[in-house]
Structure 1
């Protein structure tokens, strides 16, 4: 089929470049009109999509190729041949063959992959976005070509490769990997002097044009040639830099987070003059690592020089990882022999940045604790991309994109549960109720899914009944040693003693939310200290801010009550509640007095506190604090009448 008019080609291009993924309408418009979309963009895109669907149908495709999927469209790659996807698949297969030491099969696979190229990507589609992808794919092509040449060199084809490598070095003199291959081919062909001259010419050009010495791998190869290192003549010799592929495996499908995925895609595609750093923050169990890993695996092909991963253990019981140790692992992954890794952290950082220079790598730093931990692990080359996940916003990290994750939307939570429990069909109402009791927290939802898988005799309705019991809910959502309870404990354990105490006290209150002034009364602390402790809890994501008030998520509240039962006496817990209830009573008395005198303004106070006051009255009565309950109920009722009269007058 022929895609038709230029605008149709542009729409098809952006869908092809994100095949099998939902592309938001705003992103399509931004690409098609190069950031200057008209007000009629949505209508024009819909017309283009309709024309493309007709063209696919006329070409013999009866199944729908482009589907409407909120908030945009998705091109289904199944049963279709997309050259770029085939190329990426074959390149990935070749890497697997290399790991299995099948150089001949890997060489053949790369030959077939490179044969798919018949010219620049989407050459007839203009625009900045497509140009960025075109440059990315060209980099992928060159990287695959370098890998192919390296494999052929390992297969002993050094004589045949000299001419081809000489041309490539002339066309791309800054690509040190190609120069290293030419030097090695010349050396193995018995042309040692020419190999050394190839290094000298490259060094001179690098210094004159960029003011830089050649990279450490090229210098090591040069030194090895000077001393006639015997390993240079074997296929296992120090030919080229290693390409690490350290990303964790994709265990489960990612549900939701389409906006965040699109934001990350736009961020990494945008050209920049500084290191690209994306930060993903959010509370325990909200899915930061899952989002980062899933997205990183989706875009790994954009970083042909490798992907590095480190779990920084920011909330591990044994303490955070030492960046010095992480650097040692990175350097070994990049090909530095263990005996040549410097001892000093500063020297390790310098060598790491030298190794990363000139390469396009992805670095994923998971569960970071602080900027001091992250800073030595940032590569210096702007072609690299770094993704940092952390429970706290690390403001010092120079991020180009900062994402904060909240729990999933209810619809996405239900979809995730449906996927986790697909072996036992469950009604939508039951799924929604389970999602509600899990507070749409991905870690809790996955814990429930794992629990059901281990309990085939349980029905989903039985699970709902068990989750609805506050005494056992944390047990059921914390299936396994890395569940919700462990995640919350990791945040709790890093608090100061006074913040821990305030958290336990606040968790005792059965109110939907509360004002800042109540926090000081639970701990019997002065307002300044109370404010500092509250902020510590907010930063740890154990306390949420909502409309100028504070709220404890229910799972967090249940965890806090567990800790209070273990660490505080019954008298201490009762006294904390009494102080808080008494403070509400005092504030209600004052508001009632002001309401009778001034009217509308203080009527608003009772409206704001209504839900919390009702909860306090019920809880104080339940705890046997009947005097407080009666007086608070009386004051609230009388105030409502007084305010009504005052407003009417």
Structure 2
């Protein structure tokens, strides 16, 4: 895995720290396309020796509507660990699951969670187990270690590009820096840009950067074999409230890199007090980044 060494260490620390008998949990949050799933599975792979009774994985479809139900996920877990008689209710399934894993050392990865309420029934009661949760939402209701993923830094992004395409291709340090900036340090965007180079041998880095610099082409360039950056933003946008969507459109149409609460209030024909919860909603969805107060 390229980069994220500090975050891997934080996950390991969260899952191995003495929590006085409490279940160790690591929560990875951040925007779509920033490598939460990759990081969680890499951490689980590296720590598998610490959990000899195995690992359980569930995709909770939190960035889709509707997300997976806790009852369905518990049914899959129970089937996997050999429970044939399936209880009817979510609470009953959770009780059977916790009883079945008592005394075991399992690592459970709950990927793309929607809410804390969706996650809680899936948690074992055994402190010898551990859980990694990934979500676009911060999940403040869950205990444990909280790790928010941001963009790759310059060195990490450069390493990713070198790993994918070997570089050169007439790429000066300035061109590489421009490529990383145009991709926002987003791992998915950088990976797709490199895929374009790998499959378009007649392209060089300056040409790719030129295509990305055109705002009307950027999202089309960052789309390869069904993987694209546009989907990450669409999924986040669809989960917003109607007011959040309207404010996001207004800020986007303004065409500026930064905005203030006062400006957002004017765009929404509202007051700062009324627009602040919407700004908080956009920040929680990682469609805005708070740069100051």
Show the 5 A alignment for 1:205-604: 254-272=1-19, 273-316=21-64, 318-337=65-84, 340-399=85-144, 401-422=145-166, 425=169, 427-429=171-173, 430-548=175-293
Choose between structure 1 and 2: higher helix proportion.
1
Evaluate the alpha carbon distance shift between residue 349 and residue 457 of structure 1 in structure 2; reply closer, same or farther with a 3 A threshold.
same
Cα shift at 1:355? 1.0
Show the 5 A alignment for 1:3-22: none
Cα shift at 1:289? 1.2
TM-score (norm 1): 0.44
Q: Are the aligned partners of 1:327 and 1:352 in contact in 2 as well (CA < 8 Å)?
A: yes
Segments of structure 1 that go 5 or more residues without pairing to the other structure are 1-253, 549-649
Q: Are the aligned partners of 1:418 and 1:426 in contact in 2 as well (CA < 8 Å)?
A: no
Cα shift at 1:426? 5.4
C-alpha separation between the residues in 2 aligned to 1:357 and 1:385? 12
Cα shift at 1:424? 6.7
C-alpha separation between the residues in 2 aligned to 1:405 and 1:426? 31
Q: Are the aligned partners of 2:161 and 2:167 in contact in 1 as well (CA < 8 Å)?
A: no
User: Which sits farther off after the overlay, 319-328 or 478-487?
Assistant: 478-487
Q: Are the aligned partners of 2:15 and 2:25 in contact in 1 as well (CA < 8 Å)?
A: no
C-alpha separation between the residues in 2 aligned to 1:331 and 1:426? 55
C-alpha separation between the residues in 1 aligned to 2:8 and 2:168? 30
User: Which sits farther off after the overlay, 262-271 or 494-503?
Assistant: 262-271
User: Which residue is 1:621 aligned to?
Assistant: none
- 1:447 alignment partner, SS class: helix
C-alpha separation between the residues in 2 aligned to 1:432 and 1:470? 18
Aligned residues: 291
TM-score (norm 2): 0.95
Cα shift at 1:425? 4.9
1:43-98 Cα distance to aligned partner (Å, 9 max, x none): xxxxxxxxxxxxxxxxxxxxxxxxxxxxxxxxxxxxxxxxxxxxxxxxxxxxxxxx
Cα shift at 1:479? 2.6
Q: Are the aligned partners of 1:447 and 1:480 in contact in 2 as well (CA < 8 Å)?
A: no
Cα shift at 1:278? 0.8
Q: Are the aligned partners of 2:16 and 2:24 in contact in 1 as well (CA < 8 Å)?
A: no
